[in-house]
Structure 1
Amino acid sequence: MSVEKQHAVSGELPPVHERFFNRELSWLAFNRRVLAEAVNPDYPLLERLRFLSISGSNLDEFMMVRVAGIAGQVRRQIDELSIDGQTPQQQLGALLDAVKALVDAQQLVLADLGRELGAAGIRLIDNDPFSRAEAEWLRDYFEEHVVPVLTPQAIDPAHPFPFIANQGTGILFQIQRNADGAGVSEMILIPPALPRFVRLPGEKASWIGIEELVRRHATLLFPGFRILGHGVFRVLRDSDIEIEEDAEDLVRYYRTAIQRRRRGKVIMLQLQEDFDPDAERLLREQLRLDYALVIKSKGLLAINGLATVVDEDRQDLKFDPYNPRYPERVLEHDGDCFSAIREKDLVIHHPYESFEVVIDFLRQAAADPDVVAIKQTLYRAGKQSAVIAALIAAAEAGKSVTAVVELKARFDEEQNLMWAAQLERAGVQVIYGFVDWKTHAKVSLVVRREGDGYRTYCHFGTGNYHPVTARIYTDLSFFTADTRMGRDAGQLFNFVTGYVEPKHTELLAISPINLREKLYECIDREIALAAKGRPATIWAKLNQLTDPDLIDRLYLASRQGVEVRLVVRGICCLRPGVPGLSETIEVKSIIGRFLEHSRIWAFGNGARMPNKRARVFISSADAMSRNMGRRVEVLVPVKNPTVHDQVLGQVMLANLLDTEQSWACGPDGKYVRFEKGAQPFNLHRYFMTNPSLSGRGAALSRGRKVPKLALRRGVAHRG
């Protein structure tokens, strides 16, 4: 009998290293899938370059936060074990090896893309020769636009070693004075104000990295010297901000913490492959590389900067433009959001339907004389935020406006501090929430005077109030005038603003109060149904699945015969398909044109899925310990039949049916692309070409029917 079967018979769970994948290695597997899209022949060339750039940005943040955190544990000799039972030292060694392999893979992809781009008329200049006209233009550009902002710094006992900021790129030159043959080490740090890439003029696109431009014109910076050697380097630092429990003023604390972030411990030093050994020794000594990763790369450093090249005006090398629809349901009410919502609940599916309806909801609330109060959570709002403008307009119109601004939104802290100051100047009551918990719930509440009383309108989102990401993230915006939802949302805001913990909610489950318990209750109900021989099913769509207790609950469900189908875009610590543990659990990941971001839970409730009795929820929370225990989140039940059908029978089902952008996770943690099959299905294309249900209103019955999706049971989709 196998070990797994023995555990199943005894009722014991296997040890943690057999039950769970390592969280950090699972994330690296996710970024590998992102990188794989850069070689996807189904995508236009510049879109493939975009995926390469995204994989670089992802890896930077991973190093600055996750790897830096584990290195910090090693330095402080903290022995906290990971979900799979590894010590910080064990994890760090495995991660550094995996990161090196990923960086090497990125460079190979870049080399291939560079050749293909060149054939398509877009040149990424490396060691290429210049024509005379190009050389003259670059020299003029360098002298006029680059030299004035560069500051060469000698490295010797009379000049202290310069500080290199986080994500800073520099060049170390070894030069020799012509007059006396004396050798000098010089460092040039590339100012962040300079463009990452410079485009040469002309119809044919030629792009040169700023460090390559500086290297090629170094003689202009060091007249009277001979260039003996050079080396380009880049530094990443620990960028996580830890909250001190005794912080008396969160605003002041974050302003100083943002400054400290720029000077965090070095976590990665990246060097060009032919970097001068003496210069490398100097950097290693001066940067104090304590548990840091040193990587030598053959090609370009800071590949995230390739996003600049993606902006090249070559529509033939990009996805066809897509313009989201505005919900016909709202247009049928002459654009009156409140009238449309009052008629019945409404869900908007971004980015296929416009985020503008969310903005209009707030704009109309600001301008409506019958609206008396607006309450709004703000996690990430973007740099040009129409949401902020609407809240300011409402406050200036004399309405009671409360904004819960989350300062702990990583890498958006500075932007959020700025928005908070603007809101306060306009008369908005700004609340910063809890010191220890992030307010991650996405909620708008509008109180409107109607007849002899007041009606509350609510918006619950699975994504941020961010107009830019709303065009590329798939998310759900749920609008309702249900009085029970309104009362629950009011309690949620009172909890955040006044620490008044809700004793009872009618519909919403709120983290960290009862969201976990609600999910457990739904899972346990499916387990009980399976025990009675009735159909028992759990479907979920998540960004991450890392909470060990929730995973163990899903294992328990699988061992009792519950069918569990999970769509987890990023980190997944659950091992699917293990005999005796998770053999009824399937896990897939979808990576495509849009970033899958909505969170959905669905429970069969005694009938085969999908069905009208199924219990369906949308949420702001991922299945992570922090989301259920250390963040303010909401789990929202979907009651309206049309919205229920849209979320379950359209959105969730389309995710399960997708074959063109899907990866299957095996029991060993390896992901394999799905075979497209005889009837390939692309969920992004489906939603770009077919209207939603609740957003169409009467137009749905008059116009073209939406193709009905059906679950193909028993069909193997794995590659």
Structure 2
Amino acid sequence: MDEPQTAARRIAAVTRPRAESAAPPATYRFFNRELSWLAFNRRVLAEAQNEHYPVLERLRFLSISGSNLDEFMMVRVAGLAAQVRQGIDELSIDGLTPAQQLQAAYRGVEELVRAQQTILAGLTEQLDSAGIRIIGNRKLDKAQSDWAARYFEEHVFPALTPQAIDPAHPFPFINNQGTGILFTLTRLADGEAVTEMILVPPALPRFVRLPGEPSCWMSVEELILRGAGKLFPGFRIQGHGTFRVLRDSDIEIEEDAEDLVRYFRTAIQRRRRGRVILLQVQENFDPEAEALLRDKLRLDHAMVIKAGGLLAMNGLSVIVDTDRPELKFEPYIPRYPERVREHDGDCFAAIRTKDLVIHHPFESFDVVVDFLRQAASDPDVVAIKQTLYRAGKQSAVIAALIAAAEAGKSVTAVVELKARFDEEQNLHWASQLERAGVQVIYGFVDWKTHAKVSMVVRREGDGYRTYCHFGTGNYHPVTARIYTDLSFFTADPKFGRDAGLLFNFITGYIEPKATEMLAIAPIGVRRKLYECIDREIALAQSGKPASIWAKLNALTDSQLINRLYAASSAGVEINLVVRGICCLRPGVPGLSEKIRVKSVIGRFLEHSRIWAFGNGTPLPNRRARVFISSADGMSRNLDRRVEVLVPIKNPTVHDQVLDQVMLANLLDTEQSWILEPDGTYHRADPGPKPFNVHRYFMTNPSLSGRGAALTKGRKVPKLALRRGGMSPQ
């Protein structure tokens, strides 16, 4: 019998897609992945300029663009820099070398940073008018000045450690995302020049609010600068400069890792000491001090950016949390599905009656938590199996699994240690679960387990019934309030049997030979998508209506894109909603003239993955083949992750996913950006009757969640297409 990881690699080799028979992709066929990501973050940043949004929400988008940019630098740009250092010259799908991509990425990042600073300056003025002041070097009144001095002395000063930079003192290590200040000093006793560094402790708050009104916020760096006289008695401060460092933060998995938990604990520590990929300094930074940093940080293929203002935009999220509801979106409270209420809150009774889909965040994530809590307390439940990719810091899902194990049930949790930037949190949860008696499995070394699946086995009558939950998003209560995702519940025995095969594959490396409903990556999701696309091609070639709709977060896989190009050339009408990276070039004559691509960016983050195939009738229609998935259109999802593609058969759920969720995204005109053949995006024309997909779902209940209320309550407005275009009737 094969060793487990040998078996995994054997499966990968068998299921790895064959090269397309077409000629190698020419440069014009694809957009560059990294540059497409930069275009996505520009769309996010544009929301910070959206005059229809309250000012604190605009500040939130600026903060998000900063967080996004940090991750892009720490992972994607760091990866390109590593390829350049190692002399790797493999071309991207658009024909660029790693060095060419790195230089293009640097230019794009620099433009983004400049745009962020400009937008922050404009927002600062608007916040000022609204009574929220971000204090830079502006003068404080006496009361504020006295308070800031006391706060510095009591809360900041004790945590700081000045360090001289000279041959007698080793250059200090600067943590990833660490901020520091270099001071140029003159010792009064002898006139000697001295250089000192203060590293800002990460435990200190990023911004501090001064008492009184209007609300005034001061960055911790500004507090340190104003209190520098207390730090350096006997010295004259000649100059100072603030800087920030980002490091390579990706974790590479070694195939021969004997103990995955121990390996990740060590790898997390190594990541904190990764190569510097970005040094950000203030615009007026002293040239000699900058030269010192460049020398000591060994900036091999790293980027240096000079910024005129704030160095870390992600820290603005603290100010966004200010208690000023009139400066934010009107609060939204998710609905709890009437279908479940009709069964007195009994999730199992509701699911047993009929398949159900929950549309987050418009419908409450509490349903998912209640499903697991009820399973934990139900004496008839004998087993629970659960995948966990990202569960968050305060996870009710983890608590439910622990309660179930402590109640004597058989509980299996597949905890993915390779969830980027959540590795440490997942190690913590794994330890907690194991202590409670949960059987914790870490899955494959080679592949991430990215599928979102819960499986509950319940004793009913003389036998057992399996209840399943399949999600497009994580079991994370915080992101479930922000990300739009779908939670599909079913008691269909076919899904139950397939879910069992999926868990056996993950926990025991037992490859499922056949499934009744699910397609499972890396074995069958690509094959299933190709089969559906090829069927639409055949329909088009026979003169019948042929169409494909898809909603994804990213589309980068060249083979899948080539398949869609083939469908377009055959006459298949294709409409794609791709929120983030899209390497497909739409609207090119002879290549993709039947393909239209849009991106939806708004109050909520579009995250659900949906595929719909017309099946011989124009979309939307009752005969369409509809799927939801945990997988994006990326090579890693199709070939290197455990994912599921879930067919939607129930008529009401089918209508909701296709005629509500998918169609509303295509009809949106207020939050949509249209991708042009040259790679540029422009905002959609809202037209005479603007349509906002998020507002629609905030004000209209879903179909499958209404239950009997559909027949007696307010009807859900019917969405429809005007044939020949993507506009509502």
State TM-score, norm by structure 1: 0.98
Pick from 169, 185, 210 the counterpart of residue 200 of structure 1.
Answer: 210
Pick from 29, 37, 51 the counterpart of residue 27 of structure 1.
Answer: 37
Which whole-Å CA distance do the structure 2 matches of 1:272 and 1:73 have between them?
29
Pick from 267, 270, 276 the counterpart of residue 266 of structure 1.
Answer: 276
Segments of 4+ moved more than 2 angstroms: 11-16, 712-718
* 2:294 is the counterpart of 1:284: yes
* 2:604 is the counterpart of 1:591: no
1:705 equivalent in structure 2: 715
Question: What secondary structure is seen at the aligned counterpart in 1 of 2:299?
Answer: coil
1:397 equivalent in structure 2: 407
2:15 equivalent in structure 1: none
Pick from 332, 339, 348 the counterpart of residue 358 of structure 2.
Answer: 348
Identity, % of aligned pairs? 78
Question: What secondary structure is seen at the aligned counterpart in 1 of 2:69?
Answer: helix
Which whole-Å CA distance do the structure 1 matches of 2:37 and 2:23 have between them?
25
2:51 equivalent in structure 1: 41
Which whole-Å CA distance do the structure 2 matches of 1:85 and 1:715 have between them?
34
Pick from 622, 625, 629 the counterpart of residue 612 of structure 1.
Answer: 622
* 2:385 is the counterpart of 1:370: no
1:652 equivalent in structure 2: 662
Matches within 5 A, 1:170-189: 170-189=180-199
Pick from 63, 68, 81 the counterpart of residue 71 of structure 1.
Answer: 81
* 2:328 is the counterpart of 1:318: yes
* 2:509 is the counterpart of 1:499: yes
Which whole-Å CA distance do the structure 2 matches of 1:624 and 1:14 have between them?
18
Question: What secondary structure is seen at the aligned counterpart in 2 of 1:323?
Answer: coil
Deviation at 1:712, TM superposition (A): 2.3
- Superposed CA deviations along residues 437-472 of structure 1, whole A, max 9, x for unmatched, are 000000000000111111000000000000000000
Matches within 5 A, 1:297-446: 297-446=307-456
User: Using a 3 Å threshold, how does the CA distance of structure 1 residues 389 and 416 change in structure 2: closer, same or farther?
Assistant: same
Pick from 245, 253, 264 the counterpart of residue 243 of structure 1.
Answer: 253
Which whole-Å CA distance do the structure 2 matches of 1:645 and 1:629 have between them?
30
Matches within 5 A, 1:103-142: 103-142=113-152
Which whole-Å CA distance do the structure 1 matches of 2:419 and 2:343 have between them?
36
Which whole-Å CA distance do the structure 2 matches of 1:14 and 1:257 have between them?
37
Q: What runs of 5+ residues in structure 1 fail to find an aligned partner? A: 1-10
Identify the range of structure 1 (197-206 vs 613-622) with the bigger mean alpha-carbon deviation: 197-206
- Superposed CA deviations along residues 149-206 of structure 1, whole A, max 9, x for unmatched, are 0000000010000000000000000010111111100000000010000100013110
State TM-score, norm by structure 2: 0.96
Pick from 679, 686, 689 the counterpart of residue 669 of structure 1.
Answer: 679
Which whole-Å CA distance do the structure 1 matches of 2:726 and 2:695 have between them?
22
Which whole-Å CA distance do the structure 1 matches of 2:711 and 2:418 have between them?
45
Pick from 56, 60, 69 the counterpart of residue 59 of structure 1.
Answer: 69
Which whole-Å CA distance do the structure 2 matches of 1:205 and 1:535 have between them?
60
1:97 equivalent in structure 2: 107
Which whole-Å CA distance do the structure 2 matches of 1:16 and 1:442 have between them?
36
Deviation at 1:703, TM superposition (A): 1.1
Which whole-Å CA distance do the structure 2 matches of 1:488 and 1:372 have between them?
18
1:639 equivalent in structure 2: 649
| Paired residues of 2:184 and 2:194 also in contact (CA < 8 A) | yes
- Superposed CA deviations along residues 540-586 of structure 1, whole A, max 9, x for unmatched, are 00000000000000000000000000000000000000000000000
Pick from 212, 218, 229 the counterpart of residue 219 of structure 1.
Answer: 229
Residue identity opposite 1:331 in structure 2: R
Residue identity opposite 2:29 in structure 1: R
Which whole-Å CA distance do the structure 2 matches of 1:305 and 1:125 have between them?
14
Which whole-Å CA distance do the structure 2 matches of 1:86 and 1:429 have between them?
46
2:11 equivalent in structure 1: none
Which whole-Å CA distance do the structure 2 matches of 1:717 and 1:46 have between them?
31
2:153 equivalent in structure 1: 143
1:17 equivalent in structure 2: 27
Deviation at 1:81, TM superposition (A): 1.5
1:582 equivalent in structure 2: 592
Which whole-Å CA distance do the structure 2 matches of 1:81 and 1:633 have between them?
28
| Paired residues of 1:577 and 1:583 also in contact (CA < 8 A) | yes
Residue identity opposite 2:145 in structure 1: A
Which whole-Å CA distance do the structure 2 matches of 1:650 and 1:16 have between them?
38
1:80 equivalent in structure 2: 90
Question: What secondary structure is seen at the aligned counterpart in 1 of 2:319?
Answer: helix
Which whole-Å CA distance do the structure 2 matches of 1:69 and 1:713 have between them?
45
Deviation at 1:23, TM superposition (A): 0.2
Deviation at 1:78, TM superposition (A): 1.1
Which whole-Å CA distance do the structure 2 matches of 1:407 and 1:389 have between them?
19
Deviation at 1:717, TM superposition (A): 6.9
| Paired residues of 2:25 and 2:93 also in contact (CA < 8 A) | no
Which whole-Å CA distance do the structure 2 matches of 1:205 and 1:533 have between them?
66
- Corresponding pairs, count: 708
User: Using a 3 Å threshold, how does the CA distance of structure 1 residues 14 and 83 change in structure 2: closer, same or farther?
Assistant: closer
Residue identity opposite 1:705 in structure 2: K
| Paired residues of 1:333 and 1:339 also in contact (CA < 8 A) | yes
Deviation at 1:690, TM superposition (A): 0.2
| Paired residues of 1:674 and 1:717 also in contact (CA < 8 A) | no
1:630 equivalent in structure 2: 640
